[in-house]
Structure 1
Amino acid sequence: MGCSLLLTFRVTPGTCAVMNAMDLNTFITNYRAEDVEKLTLRMKNGLSSSKYKPAEYERLQAIVDAKRLESELIGQKVQKTRCAAKATKERSILRQHRQVWSRECPRLQKAEEKAENDIHDSLDQMRPNDITDSAIFSLQDYELFLERERETFRMATVEPVSQLRDDLCFRLGEIQQHQITAQPTNWEQVIQQINFVKDQQDDIIAKLHAEYLALKEGIMSLGLEKYLIGTSDNLENLENIPEEVLYSDCPYSELKDYLIQTFHSLSERYQSRLQSLKEQLQRTDRFCGWSPDDHERFQFTLSQYTHDIPNHRALCTDMLQRLFPGKTRQELMEHERVWDWQRFTQAQLRVVTHQWRRDHEELLLRALGSFTETASTSRTSAHISGRNCSSGGHSRRRWQSWRQL
């Protein structure tokens, strides 16, 4: 089998001129017998190699399917764990909301009782002057009418719900105790009764809401909004010069003019501050850009979740998102910021008004004291001529002390 491959070249004079001895040694390739055997075997086997076995596609497909099934099972377990964690978190949040409401409900009941007691006390304190005082008798008759109307409303709305609840509790107790199965027709009657009561309650709530809107519109038409927006203090007396100063019989006109100018300066200083605060309040309305109902619900929700409640901020945000699903978290935070700024501005308005009233009263007391002192000094100087110069000097020093304030 041993043989060698003989390469024959036709050498021409031109070829010898180009190829030298080094190039010839590089070009000549030697082949061994083993290489020929390997080449013969490879040509015999074709393109495939005997070292590699054919792929078992069915077995590989089974392995892939098993891995895919295992992955799906793991994904289902993860999803189930997530759902369980979400449900646990939801139950925990609802439990905390119930705790807040259980604390808020007694407070509202006490406030309702207090308001009713105040109304009854006010009505009891009203006594007619004589038999012709028809206003008091009208109020008493109206009170009796409201009590009868409330009792009629309770019998027509609350009593059916209580009876239905007692009937359902009795039926459930019998089923749990005796393990009896009721007839399908009987359950159909119960379901019909429940649906009837639900529809009745929906109609009652709709009527009450319509009456509430009508009453609210009537109250708004009275024009009481300006009294709610403005400050409770009356600033009319503060803007004017007190009559005690303006029409006083001060023997020194310079002192009187200076006091009048001081009152004017005090009014101008506080009026500029109040005007700035009022302009800030006018940038938004009473309800901070929301509807009145939404703003009132927003205020009531914030009042429930006070700072002494653990995790009050997260609970309040969660409840607001439940009450206003159409609003984003950013919109809720922005509304709260505007409302906080409005309350802060109103508080500043009350503080500035209180300071103005306090400074006005102090200035008036000092002015009256000075007028009394100058009048007393003038009367004394009229009887004692020797002390006239000293009293005049004392009054001038008093006026100079006023100018230094």
Structure 2
Amino acid sequence: LESLVVPMRNGLCSQKHKPVDYKHLYELAAVEKMASAKIQLKIKKTEQVSKINKERMLLKQHWQVWWQEHKRLSENRQKAEAEIKTFLDEKRHKHKFFLDMRDLEHKLSKERDTYQTNTVVPIWQLKENLKFRLSEMQCYLSEESCLKSKFNPVEMLQQIKFVKKQQKEILEFLILESLALERELEDYKTKALAHSFEEKNGLFLEVPSALLSLECPYPNLKTLVINEYRKLARGYWSKLQEVDQQLKVLYRNIEWKEEDQWVFQTVINQYPRDLQRRRTLYLDVLQRYLPHKSRHDLVVHEKAWDRYHFIRNQRRVLILNWAQARKAFLLKAVTTVAEASAAHETEVALANTRQKQQEICADLKAKV
């Protein structure tokens, strides 16, 4: 502290005051700045390398999941095609319908091969041709005359434009065809849902033929059993309607396009529930496939989807419980009616025995 006070006490012009070397200070500051910039550059490079490594690790995990999904779908497809082929081979000799299905299969197979020949094959040929031309350009880059004779860029560009135009026309045609098929499927879906509702209504509220055909000696007991069944069925039917209403409200409140919803469901189902870091992985993929959705939107939709899935599971459990309760009720009803029939037969036998005893007693009295 004394060394700092002395210059002020003796004055700025004192011999004890040393002039400041600003040039040296600037040099020191520049060296420190350069060292700091190098450190910051190292930090940025480290962060960049860490980000790249993290991205590679995520892609590797995604690739493993996608490969397993591809393998599973391929196996399921082969199994389904084999089952369909076996079924058609077994039934085609018995019904004309299956012969028509076989002809339709051959027709669709030919159409698929024709489509690949007209669309996919030209693209691959063009790709291979471009690779070959690029390799030629590298080989003859220094020989202009040879390059001119072997490569015509204008012709190649025209070929590329022609293929792009052809692909655009085919894609537009496929889009129109898919829209028509979607409308047709929606009509079938509406009819199927209406039919399904009627079936569910009948499944719950219609009295089974096993109850109606029961032979019970007591009409009141049979009526009581049928009424109890209807009461049980109405209870489960009411619960099922409540669950279906909750599902409708939840689905109506999901303000997502059908395409985005399909992508979300497909991605979620691709990742097994026992997979480590499952949520991190599928949220990462969803952000790649749905870049117009923020992470907050995905998380909110995830919660709504979990709620919807939970209620769907409740519905499935409710239907299973109803099937078990229905089966138990029918078994109990059969047992009750069987016991009632046995009791009735016992009563009839006792009544007949009593009547015979009374007749014997009357005969004995008459003889006496």
State the match for 1:16 in structure 2.
Answer: none
**1:242-253 mapped onto 2 (5 Å cutoff):** 242=208, 245=211, 250-252=216-218
The secondary structure found in structure 1 opposite 2:256 is coil
TM-superposed deviation, 1:318: 0.9
What is the CA deviation profile of residues 203-250 of structure 1, one whole-angstrom value per residue up to 9, with x for unaligned ones? Answer: 544543443233112211223486399689734243244566568664
TM-superposed deviation, 1:153: 0.8
Moved more, 301-310 or 115-124: 115-124
Unmatched runs of 5 consecutive residues or more in structure 1: 1-41, 390-405
State the match for 1:35 in structure 2.
Answer: none
TM-superposed deviation, 1:303: 1.8
The answer (yes or no) to whether the contact 1:231–1:349 under 8 Å persists in 2 is no
Change (3 A) 1:345 1:104: same
The secondary structure found in structure 2 opposite 1:331 is helix
What is the CA deviation profile of residues 343-399 of structure 1, one whole-angstrom value per residue up to 9, with x for unaligned ones? Answer: 22222223222322332233233323333443354345445426679xxxxxxxxxx
**How much is the aligned-residue C-alpha RMSD, in angstroms?**
3.9
State the match for 2:260 in structure 1.
Answer: 294
What is the CA deviation profile of residues 50-73 of structure 1, one whole-angstrom value per residue up to 9, with x for unaligned ones? Answer: 432333333333333333233223
1:116 and 2:85 equivalent?
A: no
State the match for 2:359 in structure 1.
Answer: none
1:72 and 2:37 equivalent?
A: yes
State the match for 2:240 in structure 1.
Answer: 274
**1:40-79 mapped onto 2 (5 Å cutoff):** 48-79=13-44
TM-superposed deviation, 1:310: 4.0
State the match for 1:323 in structure 2.
Answer: 289
TM-superposed deviation, 1:180: 6.2
State the match for 2:303 in structure 1.
Answer: 337
What is the CA deviation profile of residues 298-330 of structure 1, one whole-angstrom value per residue up to 9, with x for unaligned ones? Answer: 111112221344433322121111111121223
The residue type paired with residue 150 of structure 1 is R
2:113 to 151, 174, 195: 151
The answer (yes or no) to whether the contact 2:251–2:308 under 8 Å persists in 1 is no
Change (3 A) 1:95 1:386: same
State the match for 1:220 in structure 2.
Answer: 186
The answer (yes or no) to whether the contact 1:233–1:353 under 8 Å persists in 2 is no
State the match for 1:107 in structure 2.
Answer: 72
Moved more, 114-123 or 238-247: 238-247
Q: Distance in 2 between matches of 1:290 and 1:221?
A: 22
The secondary structure found in structure 2 opposite 1:325 is coil
Change (3 A) 1:110 1:200: farther
**TM-score, normalisation: structure 1:** 0.69
Unmatched runs of 5 consecutive residues or more in structure 2: 1-7, 356-368
1:378 and 2:344 equivalent?
A: yes
What is the CA deviation profile of residues 262-289 of structure 1, one whole-angstrom value per residue up to 9, with x for unaligned ones? Answer: 2243224323322331222121228943
Change (3 A) 1:189 1:378: same
Change (3 A) 1:381 1:214: same
What is the CA deviation profile of residues 157-214 of structure 1, one whole-angstrom value per residue up to 9, with x for unaligned ones? Answer: 22223334544666788899xx765866538479735676566545544543443233
Change (3 A) 1:350 1:81: closer
The answer (yes or no) to whether the contact 2:204–2:234 under 8 Å persists in 1 is no
Moved more, 77-86 or 256-265: 256-265
The answer (yes or no) to whether the contact 1:381–1:388 under 8 Å persists in 2 is no
The answer (yes or no) to whether the contact 2:207–2:226 under 8 Å persists in 1 is yes
The residue type paired with residue 84 of structure 1 is V
State the match for 1:29 in structure 2.
Answer: none
The residue type paired with residue 161 of structure 1 is I
Q: Distance in 1 between matches of 2:51 and 2:194?
A: 45
State the match for 1:10 in structure 2.
Answer: none
Identity %: 33
